[in-house]
Protein backbone atom coordinates (compact mmCIF):
# COMPACT_ATOMS: atom_id res chain seq x y z
CA UNK A 1 0.00 0.00 0.00
CA UNK A 2 1.50 3.36 -1.09
CA UNK A 3 2.01 5.73 1.83
CA UNK A 4 3.15 9.34 2.22
CA UNK A 5 3.77 11.55 5.25
CA UNK A 6 3.10 15.29 5.54
CA UNK A 7 5.05 16.92 8.38
CA UNK A 8 8.55 15.76 9.36
CA UNK A 9 8.80 17.28 12.83
CA UNK A 10 9.01 15.84 16.35
CA UNK A 11 6.29 13.22 16.09
CA UNK A 12 7.12 12.11 12.55
CA UNK A 13 9.47 9.31 13.74
CA UNK A 14 6.49 7.51 15.24
CA UNK A 15 4.68 7.63 11.90
CA UNK A 16 7.67 6.46 9.89
CA UNK A 17 8.39 3.60 12.30
CA UNK A 18 4.71 2.59 12.23
CA UNK A 19 4.70 2.66 8.42
CA UNK A 20 7.89 0.56 8.25
CA UNK A 21 6.70 -1.96 10.85
CA UNK A 22 3.41 -2.39 8.99
CA UNK A 23 5.08 -2.99 5.62
CA UNK A 24 3.77 0.15 3.91
CA UNK A 25 5.54 1.31 0.77
CA UNK A 26 6.72 4.78 1.78
CA UNK A 27 6.70 6.69 -1.51
CA UNK A 28 7.15 10.28 -0.34
CA UNK A 29 7.89 12.60 2.56
CA UNK A 30 6.77 16.22 2.69
CA UNK A 31 7.61 19.22 4.84
CA UNK A 32 7.64 22.95 4.19
CA UNK A 33 11.22 22.80 5.41
CA UNK A 34 13.39 20.59 3.17
CA UNK A 35 15.98 20.23 5.94
CA UNK A 36 13.42 18.53 8.17
CA UNK A 37 12.76 15.98 5.43
CA UNK A 38 16.48 15.33 5.02
CA UNK A 39 16.91 14.95 8.78
CA UNK A 40 14.14 12.34 8.93
CA UNK A 41 15.36 10.60 5.83
CA UNK A 42 18.88 10.34 7.20
CA UNK A 43 17.50 8.34 10.15
CA UNK A 44 15.41 5.91 8.16
CA UNK A 45 16.65 6.06 4.57
CA UNK A 46 18.42 2.69 4.82
CA UNK A 47 15.12 1.07 5.81
CA UNK A 48 12.78 2.83 3.41
CA UNK A 49 14.93 3.10 0.27
CA UNK A 50 14.25 5.76 -2.36
CA UNK A 51 11.47 8.19 -1.57
CA UNK A 52 10.40 11.39 -3.29
CA UNK A 53 10.72 14.58 -1.23
CA UNK A 54 8.25 17.46 -1.49
CA UNK A 55 7.78 20.85 0.12
CA UNK A 56 4.26 21.15 -1.36
CA UNK A 57 1.81 18.52 -0.14
CA UNK A 58 -0.66 19.15 -2.96
CA UNK A 59 1.99 18.43 -5.58
CA UNK A 60 2.94 15.28 -3.65
CA UNK A 61 -0.63 13.97 -3.53
CA UNK A 62 -1.26 14.75 -7.22
CA UNK A 63 1.98 13.12 -8.41
CA UNK A 64 2.37 10.17 -6.03
CA UNK A 65 -1.30 9.23 -5.51
CA UNK A 66 -0.72 7.50 -2.17
CA UNK A 67 -3.48 5.29 -0.81
CA UNK A 68 -2.74 6.32 2.79
CA UNK A 69 -1.39 9.64 4.08
CA UNK A 70 -0.13 10.47 7.58
CA UNK A 71 -0.71 14.10 8.61
CA UNK A 72 1.69 15.27 11.33
CA UNK A 73 1.80 19.02 10.79
CA UNK A 74 0.85 21.74 13.28
CA UNK A 75 -2.71 21.25 14.55
CA UNK A 76 -4.03 24.36 12.77
CA UNK A 77 -3.23 22.88 9.35
CA UNK A 78 -4.71 19.38 9.82
CA UNK A 79 -8.13 20.17 8.36
CA UNK A 80 -6.96 21.89 5.18
CA UNK A 81 -4.46 19.12 4.38
CA UNK A 82 -6.86 16.31 5.33
CA UNK A 83 -9.71 17.64 3.17
CA UNK A 84 -7.39 17.97 0.15
CA UNK A 85 -6.08 14.41 0.62
CA UNK A 86 -9.58 12.99 1.13
CA UNK A 87 -10.94 14.80 -1.94
CA UNK A 88 -8.13 13.17 -3.93
CA UNK A 89 -9.12 9.72 -2.74
CA UNK A 90 -6.53 9.21 0.03
CA UNK A 91 -7.26 7.55 3.35
CA UNK A 92 -5.77 9.60 6.19
CA UNK A 93 -4.33 9.22 9.67
CA UNK A 94 -4.55 12.69 11.22
CA UNK A 95 -2.54 13.57 14.31
CA UNK A 96 -4.53 14.78 17.28
CA UNK A 97 -6.47 17.00 17.56
CA UNK A 98 -8.41 16.23 14.39
CA UNK A 99 -8.90 19.97 13.78
CA UNK A 100 -9.24 23.15 15.82
CA UNK A 101 -12.87 23.95 15.00
CA UNK A 102 -16.03 21.87 14.88
CA UNK A 103 -16.77 23.24 11.43
CA UNK A 104 -13.42 21.90 10.18
CA UNK A 105 -13.98 18.52 11.86
CA UNK A 106 -17.37 18.36 10.12
CA UNK A 107 -15.77 19.23 6.78
CA UNK A 108 -13.38 16.31 7.21
CA UNK A 109 -16.22 13.94 8.12
CA UNK A 110 -18.43 15.02 5.19
CA UNK A 111 -15.55 14.81 2.72
CA UNK A 112 -14.69 11.29 3.93
CA UNK A 113 -18.29 10.15 3.58
CA UNK A 114 -18.55 11.67 0.09
CA UNK A 115 -15.28 10.13 -1.10
CA UNK A 116 -15.62 6.81 0.71
CA UNK A 117 -12.21 6.89 2.40
CA UNK A 118 -11.15 6.08 5.96
CA UNK A 119 -10.20 8.75 8.45
CA UNK A 120 -8.42 7.93 11.68
CA UNK A 121 -7.63 10.46 14.38
CA UNK A 122 -4.39 9.44 16.02
CA UNK A 123 -5.47 9.10 19.65
CA UNK A 124 -3.04 6.23 19.93
CA UNK A 125 -3.15 5.79 23.70
CA UNK A 126 -6.34 3.78 23.25
CA UNK A 127 -4.03 0.96 22.19
CA UNK A 128 -1.81 1.09 25.30
CA UNK A 129 -1.78 -2.29 27.07
CA UNK A 130 -3.10 -1.00 30.41
CA UNK A 131 -5.79 1.01 28.64
CA UNK A 132 -6.90 -2.03 26.66
CA UNK A 133 -7.02 -4.05 29.88
CA UNK A 134 -9.25 -1.43 31.52
CA UNK A 135 -11.48 -1.20 28.47
CA UNK A 136 -11.94 -4.98 28.51
CA UNK A 137 -12.96 -4.88 32.20
CA UNK A 138 -15.61 -2.29 31.26
CA UNK A 139 -16.81 -4.30 28.25
CA UNK A 140 -17.04 -7.39 30.47
CA UNK A 141 -19.28 -5.47 32.89
CA UNK A 142 -16.93 -5.91 35.86
CA UNK A 143 -17.52 -2.40 37.23
CA UNK A 144 -21.31 -2.70 37.35
CA UNK A 145 -22.65 0.83 37.14
CA UNK A 146 -19.84 3.31 36.56
CA UNK A 147 -20.32 6.36 38.76
CA UNK A 148 -17.49 8.59 37.70
CA UNK A 149 -14.02 8.89 36.26
CA UNK A 150 -11.10 11.27 36.55
CA UNK A 151 -8.46 12.27 34.00
CA UNK A 152 -5.48 14.20 35.33
CA UNK A 153 -2.59 15.27 33.19
CA UNK A 154 0.06 17.03 35.25
CA UNK A 155 3.07 17.68 33.07
CA UNK A 156 5.92 20.14 32.87
CA UNK A 157 6.61 22.09 29.71
CA UNK A 158 9.13 24.92 29.97
CA UNK A 159 9.17 28.04 27.80
CA UNK A 160 11.89 26.31 25.76
CA UNK A 161 9.34 23.66 24.69
CA UNK A 162 6.86 26.30 23.53
CA UNK A 163 9.58 28.24 21.71
CA UNK A 164 10.55 25.21 19.60
CA UNK A 165 8.01 26.24 16.99
CA UNK A 166 5.95 29.42 16.53
CA UNK A 167 2.63 27.52 16.35
CA UNK A 168 2.84 26.09 19.86
CA UNK A 169 0.41 27.53 22.36
CA UNK A 170 -1.30 29.81 19.80
CA UNK A 171 -5.08 29.87 19.46
CA UNK A 172 -4.98 29.66 15.66
CA UNK A 173 -2.67 26.65 15.40
CA UNK A 174 -2.63 24.74 18.68
CA UNK A 175 -4.61 25.62 21.83
CA UNK A 176 -3.14 24.94 25.25
CA UNK A 177 -2.62 22.23 27.85
CA UNK A 178 -6.10 20.76 27.37
CA UNK A 179 -6.10 20.71 23.56
CA UNK A 180 -2.51 19.64 22.98
CA UNK A 181 -1.31 17.61 25.96
CA UNK A 182 -4.45 16.43 27.82
CA UNK A 183 -6.47 15.39 24.78
CA UNK A 184 -5.34 11.75 25.02
CA UNK A 185 -6.44 11.46 28.66
CA UNK A 186 -9.70 13.32 27.97
CA UNK A 187 -10.43 11.00 25.04
CA UNK A 188 -9.77 7.95 27.23
CA UNK A 189 -12.05 9.26 29.98
CA UNK A 190 -14.91 9.76 27.51
CA UNK A 191 -14.30 6.43 25.82
CA UNK A 192 -14.43 4.60 29.15
CA UNK A 193 -17.41 6.58 30.46
CA UNK A 194 -19.68 6.06 27.44
CA UNK A 195 -18.57 8.68 24.91
CA UNK A 196 -21.39 11.20 25.05
CA UNK A 197 -21.27 14.28 27.28
CA UNK A 198 -24.37 16.28 28.18
CA UNK A 199 -22.86 19.24 30.03
CA UNK A 200 -19.60 20.80 31.14
CA UNK A 201 -18.39 23.43 33.60
CA UNK A 202 -14.78 24.52 33.73
CA UNK A 203 -12.07 27.04 34.42
CA UNK A 204 -8.92 27.71 32.44
CA UNK A 205 -5.99 30.02 32.99
CA UNK A 206 -2.50 30.84 31.86
CA UNK A 207 -0.53 30.66 35.07
CA UNK A 208 3.10 30.13 34.18
CA UNK A 209 3.80 30.68 30.49
CA UNK A 210 3.50 34.26 29.29
CA UNK A 211 5.13 33.19 26.02
CA UNK A 212 1.92 31.42 24.89
CA UNK A 213 -1.58 32.69 24.09
CA UNK A 214 -3.63 29.71 25.28
CA UNK A 215 -4.17 28.01 28.65
CA UNK A 216 -1.49 26.14 30.53
CA UNK A 217 -4.02 25.10 33.19
CA UNK A 218 -7.57 23.80 32.92
CA UNK A 219 -10.05 22.03 35.20
CA UNK A 220 -13.54 20.83 34.38
CA UNK A 221 -16.45 18.76 35.61
CA UNK A 222 -18.47 16.83 33.10
CA UNK A 223 -21.83 15.07 33.18
CA UNK A 224 -22.16 12.18 30.72
CA UNK A 225 -25.41 11.40 28.94
CA UNK A 226 -25.63 8.05 30.72
CA UNK A 227 -25.66 9.75 34.14
CA UNK A 228 -21.99 9.27 35.05
CA UNK A 229 -19.63 12.12 35.92
CA UNK A 230 -16.09 13.07 35.02
CA UNK A 231 -13.39 15.27 36.49
CA UNK A 232 -10.71 16.67 34.21
CA UNK A 233 -7.45 18.37 35.12
CA UNK A 234 -4.77 19.35 32.62
CA UNK A 235 -1.68 21.44 33.07
CA UNK A 236 1.86 21.94 31.83
CA UNK A 237 2.83 23.88 34.97
CA UNK A 238 3.84 21.28 37.55
CA UNK A 239 7.40 20.80 38.72
CA UNK A 240 9.36 18.69 36.26
CA UNK A 241 9.99 16.04 38.93
CA UNK A 242 6.34 15.37 39.66
CA UNK A 243 4.82 14.71 36.26
CA UNK A 244 2.01 12.20 35.95
CA UNK A 245 -0.98 11.29 33.82
CA UNK A 246 -3.73 9.38 35.55
CA UNK A 247 -7.02 7.87 34.55
CA UNK A 248 -9.30 6.58 37.31
CA UNK A 249 -12.62 4.81 36.93
CA UNK A 250 -14.93 4.30 39.91
CA UNK A 251 -17.81 1.85 39.63
CA UNK A 252 -20.29 -0.05 41.77
CA UNK A 253 -18.05 -3.15 41.87
CA UNK A 254 -14.59 -1.91 41.01
CA UNK A 255 -11.95 0.81 41.04
CA UNK A 256 -9.08 1.13 38.60
CA UNK A 257 -6.38 3.77 38.54
CA UNK A 258 -3.84 4.05 35.75
CA UNK A 259 -0.88 6.33 36.36
CA UNK A 260 2.80 6.88 35.71
CA UNK A 261 4.10 9.53 33.33
CA UNK A 262 1.55 8.71 30.63
CA UNK A 263 -1.23 6.62 32.15
CA UNK A 264 0.37 3.31 31.21
CA UNK A 265 0.99 1.87 34.69
CA UNK A 266 -1.74 0.09 36.66
CA UNK A 267 -1.67 1.66 40.14
CA UNK A 268 -4.96 0.21 41.46
CA UNK A 269 -6.94 -2.76 40.16
CA UNK A 270 -9.69 -3.70 42.59
CA UNK A 271 -12.86 -5.63 41.75
CA UNK A 272 -15.42 -7.35 43.95
CA UNK A 273 -15.39 -10.38 41.63
CA UNK A 274 -11.88 -11.38 42.78
CA UNK A 275 -11.07 -12.65 39.30
CA UNK A 276 -7.49 -11.49 39.36
CA UNK A 277 -4.68 -10.68 41.74
CA UNK A 278 -4.04 -6.93 41.97
CA UNK A 279 -0.34 -7.36 42.76
CA UNK A 280 0.13 -9.61 39.75
CA UNK A 281 -1.61 -7.09 37.45
CA UNK A 282 0.47 -4.26 38.91
CA UNK A 283 3.64 -6.24 38.25
CA UNK A 284 2.65 -7.00 34.67
CA UNK A 285 1.58 -3.42 33.91
CA UNK A 286 4.14 -1.68 36.10
CA UNK A 287 6.56 0.15 33.83
CA UNK A 288 6.50 3.51 32.09
CA UNK A 289 7.21 3.28 28.34
CA UNK A 290 10.57 4.47 27.04
CA UNK A 291 8.90 7.52 25.57
CA UNK A 292 5.64 9.23 26.59
CA UNK A 293 4.23 8.90 23.05
CA UNK A 294 4.32 5.11 23.63
CA UNK A 295 4.08 2.54 20.84
CA UNK A 296 0.45 3.17 19.93
CA UNK A 297 1.21 4.57 16.48
CA UNK A 298 2.18 1.08 15.29
CA UNK A 299 -1.20 -0.33 16.36
CA UNK A 300 -3.04 2.65 14.88
CA UNK A 301 -1.42 2.04 11.50
CA UNK A 302 -2.06 -1.71 11.68
CA UNK A 303 -5.73 -1.05 12.40
CA UNK A 304 -6.16 1.53 9.63
CA UNK A 305 -4.53 -0.72 7.02
CA UNK A 306 -6.94 -3.48 8.04
CA UNK A 307 -9.88 -1.03 7.97
CA UNK A 308 -8.98 -0.03 4.39
CA UNK A 309 -8.59 -3.65 3.27
CA UNK A 310 -11.84 -4.77 4.90
CA UNK A 311 -13.83 -1.59 4.27
CA UNK A 312 -14.74 -0.91 7.90
CA UNK A 313 -14.40 2.10 10.21
CA UNK A 314 -11.01 2.49 11.93
CA UNK A 315 -10.90 1.69 15.66
CA UNK A 316 -10.34 5.41 16.35
CA UNK A 317 -12.37 7.22 13.73
CA UNK A 318 -13.09 10.85 12.86
CA UNK A 319 -16.21 10.87 15.07
CA UNK A 320 -14.08 9.98 18.10
CA UNK A 321 -11.73 12.81 17.18
CA UNK A 322 -14.64 15.21 16.84
CA UNK A 323 -16.04 14.22 20.26
CA UNK A 324 -12.70 14.92 22.00
CA UNK A 325 -12.48 18.26 20.17
CA UNK A 326 -16.07 19.20 21.05
CA UNK A 327 -15.50 18.47 24.74
CA UNK A 328 -12.31 20.54 24.95
CA UNK A 329 -13.88 23.46 23.06
CA UNK A 330 -16.86 23.21 25.43
CA UNK A 331 -14.52 23.50 28.43
CA UNK A 332 -12.95 26.58 26.81
CA UNK A 333 -16.42 28.03 26.24
CA UNK A 334 -17.64 27.26 29.77
CA UNK A 335 -14.53 28.86 31.24
CA UNK A 336 -14.67 31.94 29.00
CA UNK A 337 -18.40 32.53 29.56
CA UNK A 338 -18.45 31.54 33.26
CA UNK A 339 -21.39 29.17 32.79
CA UNK A 340 -22.26 25.52 32.24
CA UNK A 341 -22.28 24.56 28.56
CA UNK A 342 -24.73 21.97 27.26
CA UNK A 343 -23.65 19.68 24.43
CA UNK A 344 -23.94 19.22 21.51
CA UNK A 345 -22.17 22.38 20.42
CA UNK A 346 -22.53 22.95 16.69
CA UNK A 347 -19.96 25.66 16.04
CA UNK A 348 -16.86 26.56 18.01
CA UNK A 349 -13.19 27.15 17.27
CA UNK A 350 -10.05 27.74 19.32
CA UNK A 351 -9.87 31.15 17.62
CA UNK A 352 -13.10 32.15 19.40
CA UNK A 353 -10.91 32.49 22.51
CA UNK A 354 -8.24 34.74 21.01
CA UNK A 355 -7.18 37.37 23.55
CA UNK A 356 -8.66 35.45 26.49
CA UNK A 357 -5.52 35.70 28.70
N1 LIG B 1 -0.06 11.54 19.10
C2 LIG B 1 0.89 12.05 19.84
O3 LIG B 1 1.28 11.51 20.86
C4 LIG B 1 1.52 13.35 19.41
C5 LIG B 1 2.76 13.73 19.94
C6 LIG B 1 3.32 14.93 19.50
C7 LIG B 1 2.67 15.73 18.58
N8 LIG B 1 1.44 15.34 18.12
C9 LIG B 1 0.71 16.18 17.14
O10 LIG B 1 1.41 16.10 15.91
C11 LIG B 1 1.39 17.34 15.23
C12 LIG B 1 2.82 17.79 14.96
O13 LIG B 1 3.50 17.97 16.17
P14 LIG B 1 5.11 18.04 16.21
O15 LIG B 1 5.47 18.16 17.63
O16 LIG B 1 5.70 16.97 15.39
O17 LIG B 1 5.31 19.47 15.48
P18 LIG B 1 6.62 20.02 14.75
O19 LIG B 1 6.50 21.51 14.72
O20 LIG B 1 7.84 19.43 15.34
O21 LIG B 1 6.46 19.44 13.27
C22 LIG B 1 5.45 19.87 12.39
C23 LIG B 1 6.08 19.89 11.00
O24 LIG B 1 5.04 20.12 10.04
C25 LIG B 1 5.58 20.94 9.03
N26 LIG B 1 4.47 21.58 8.29
C27 LIG B 1 3.60 22.51 8.74
N28 LIG B 1 2.70 22.83 7.76
C29 LIG B 1 3.02 22.06 6.68
C30 LIG B 1 2.50 21.95 5.38
N31 LIG B 1 1.45 22.68 4.98
N32 LIG B 1 3.08 21.08 4.53
C33 LIG B 1 4.14 20.33 4.91
N34 LIG B 1 4.70 20.40 6.15
C35 LIG B 1 4.16 21.27 7.03
C36 LIG B 1 6.48 21.91 9.74
O37 LIG B 1 7.44 22.49 8.88
C38 LIG B 1 7.11 21.02 10.81
O39 LIG B 1 8.33 20.46 10.41
C40 LIG B 1 0.59 18.30 16.12
O41 LIG B 1 -0.73 18.34 15.68
C42 LIG B 1 0.67 17.65 17.50
O43 LIG B 1 -0.48 17.94 18.28
C44 LIG B 1 0.87 14.17 18.50
Residues 6+ apart with CB under 8 A from 65: 2, 88, 89
Supply the pLDDT for residue 295.
Answer: 77
* Ligand 1 pocket residue status of 122, Cβ below 6 Å: yes
Helix, strand and coil content of the chain, in percent to the nearest 5, comes to 40, 25, 35
* Distance in Å, CA 242 to ligand 1 centroid: 27
* pLDDT at residue 288 tops 90: no
Q: What is the mean pLDDT of residues 216-233?
A: 98
CA of 73 to the centre of ligand 1 (A): 3
| Beta-carbon count within 10 A of 92 CB | 28
Q: Compute the average pLDDT of residues 161-176.
A: 97
77 lines ligand 1 (CB under 6 A): yes
- CA dist., res. 153 & res. 261, Å (int): 9
32 C-beta closer than 6 A to ligand 1: yes
- Tell me whether domains 2-125+296-316 and 126-287+323-342 share a fold: no
Pocket residue to mutate for ligand 1, from 9, 33, 61, most atoms within 8 A of Cβ: 9
Separation between Cα atoms, residue 82 and residue 96, nearest integer Å: 12
Q: How far is the CA of 230 from the centre of ligand 1 (A)?
A: 30
The correct answer on CATH 3.40.50.720 for the domain covering 2-125+296-316 is yes
Q: How many residues does the chain have?
A: 357
Residue 289 pLDDT > 80: no
Quickly state the pLDDT bin for 355 (edges 50, 70, 90).
very high
Are 106 and 322 a contacting pair, CB within 8 Å?
yes
Percent with pLDDT over 70 in the chain: 99
Is 57 close to ligand 1, i.e. is its CB under 6 Å away? yes
pLDDT of res. 266: 98
Residues 6+ positions from 80 with CB-CB distance below 8 Å: none
- What's the 301 CA to ligand 1 centre distance in angstroms? 17
What pLDDT, on a 0 to 100 scale, did the predictor assign at position 167?
98
- The structural domains of the chain, with segments of one domain joined by +, span 2-125+296-316, 126-287+323-342
pLDDT tens digits, 91-115: 999 999 999 999 999 999 999 999 9
Would the pLDDT of 249 be above 90?
yes
Q: Which CATH architecture has domain 126-287+323-342?
A: 2-Layer Sandwich (3.30)
Q: How do 229-235 and 146-154 pair as beta strands?
A: parallel
CA dihedral 247, 301, 168, 171 (to 10 degrees): -80
Amino acid sequence: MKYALVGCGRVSHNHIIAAIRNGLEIVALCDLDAEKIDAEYSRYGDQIGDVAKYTDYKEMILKEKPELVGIATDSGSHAEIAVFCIEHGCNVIIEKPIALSLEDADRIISAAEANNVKVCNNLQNRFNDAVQLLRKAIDDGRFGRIYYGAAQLRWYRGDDYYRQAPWRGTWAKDGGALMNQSIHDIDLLCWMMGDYVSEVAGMTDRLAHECIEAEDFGIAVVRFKNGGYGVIEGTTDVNRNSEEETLSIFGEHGTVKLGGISGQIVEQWRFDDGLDDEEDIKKRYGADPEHIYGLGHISVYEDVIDAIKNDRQPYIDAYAGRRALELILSIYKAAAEGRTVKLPVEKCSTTDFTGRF
